[in-house]
Amino acid sequence: MRELRVALLEADVSLAIAKTFVARVKERAIGANVLESLTPAQTVLKIVHDELVTLLGPASGSGRARLQFSDAPPSVIMLVGLQGSGKTTQAGKLGLRLKEQGRRSMLVAADVYRPAAIEQLQTLGKQVDLPVYERGSADPVRIVREGVAEAKRLGLSTVIVDTAGRLQIDEELMDELARIKGVANPCEILLVADAMTGQEATNVARGFHERLGITGVILTKLDGDTRGGAALSIHSVTGAPIKLIGVGEKLSALEPFYPERLASRILGMGDALTLIEKTQGLYSEGQAKKLEEKLLKASFTLDDFLEQMRQVRKIGSIGDLLKMVPGLSKALPKNFEIPEREFVKVEAIISSMTRIERRNPNLLNGSRRKRIARGSGSQVSDVNRLVKQFEQTREMTKQLGGRKRAGFLPFRPPA
């Protein structure tokens, strides 16, 4: 239980909620039967994981919470949150996501205080090809009322309202948001919360919920090192489900929230499901089978290696992908990242080899390595290191292939 409490606190879950959660797990764990396939420690971990999923998940038990829409369009979605949490960016992302689902939206610029907020929303509107309603520095309540009316006139199905934020919650801000809620009658009031807010997330969520009654949460900046414990704090205080998560800078980087995946992340167990989803689109089943055969027979060449590297780089940062791998997420340093220049260097070195050299690295004698180093703008030591790492990888996969054919796993699952 002490380890669990530390894991929660390291994931930025507030102390009070961490204590309450640990007590719940302890109550459920005492007297629980240990399955034959699990150790007592694994049984406790399963209970912890299941409790987290139950706590983070929607009350309906449908796996994930979905956005609600009104029967009579336009459905109004109001985004609220502190300044800097990413409301304007999320408005553009949400508009694109709904557009891909067949719902055309209007973005309403109700943040008239932050410099360039309106221009930012207009730029996002152009990028996703959606109309933006703005009236400069006019009264935000009036802007929202007129924006909803304009969307109705144009026959648009959804209105996304980008509201003003502050560095901290104050009465003036809350009064304005309450009046906007009164004229817009939103079907969703989504709190946009920064996953890196940490312990302060509890106070922020409580403040907005008490005055506005938030219906859901968009958790942003989950592509960083944070494990997302703020989600647990916010959900515990408000009862509002996490509906979407922001996982990057791109406008397409807004994803549905799956409780079981964040539960694994909070516990430092990685996120294998998301990793599988990201990678399965890169290869057909036939390609994957062919690659596996090459690895097991040790006929994997530097050409194959370069192709795999290029494919993996298509789906994002290598550091972020490695953090999704169960077991590696805890072992990696906190700010672990592989510099992009290292991949550029490797690509240049392999591209400087002849086709025969790429297929048979054993041919790479001293003079060939010097030529490759000159051609790629690198040092001979860089070429030597790449070849050595490649040979070690090929030898390891050959050993794993032998173990696989012998019918046993090359490792035991951690207790």
pLDDT digits (tens, 9 = 90+) for 163-181: 988 777 778 888 999 999 9
Taking the alpha carbons at both ends of the chain, their separation in whole angstroms is 16
Residue 295 has a pLDDT of 54
pLDDT tens per residue across all 415 residues of the chain? 888 888 788 777 878 888 888 888 888 888 777 766 566 776 777 788 788 887 776 654 455 678 889 888 899 999 998 888 889 999 999 999 999 899 999 999 999 888 889 999 999 999 999 999 999 888 999 999 999 999 999 999 999 999 988 777 778 888 999 999 999 999 999 999 887 776 677 788 888 898 889 998 898 877 655 566 777 788 888 888 888 888 878 888 888 888 877 777 676 655 444 554 555 555 555 665 665 565 555 566 788 777 777 766 665 555 555 555 444 445 445 555 556 677 788 889 998 999 899 888 888 899 999 999 999 898 999 999 888 877 776 776 566 555 444 433 333 333 3
Residue 285 has a pLDDT of 55
Residue 147 has a pLDDT of 94
Question: Cα separations (Å) of 41 from 4, 28, 210, 387?
Answer: 12, 14, 40, 41
Residue 406 has a pLDDT of 40
What's the farthest any 2 CA atoms get from each other in the chain?
77
DSSP 3-state of 27: helix
Q: Which residues pair with residue 218 across a beta bridge?
A: 192, 244
For each of the domains in the chain, give its residue range(s) and CATH number, in order of start. Answer: 75-269 (3.40.50.300), 277-406 (1.10.260.30)
Tokens 């392999």 appear where? Answer: 350
Give the separation between CA 324 and CA 252, rounded to whole angstroms. Answer: 20
Classify strands 158-162 and 254-256 as parallel, antiparallel or unpaired.
Answer: unpaired
**Per-residue pLDDT tens for 354-381?**
989 988 888 889 999 999 999 989 899 9
Give the separation between CA 95 and CA 240, rounded to whole angstroms. Answer: 21
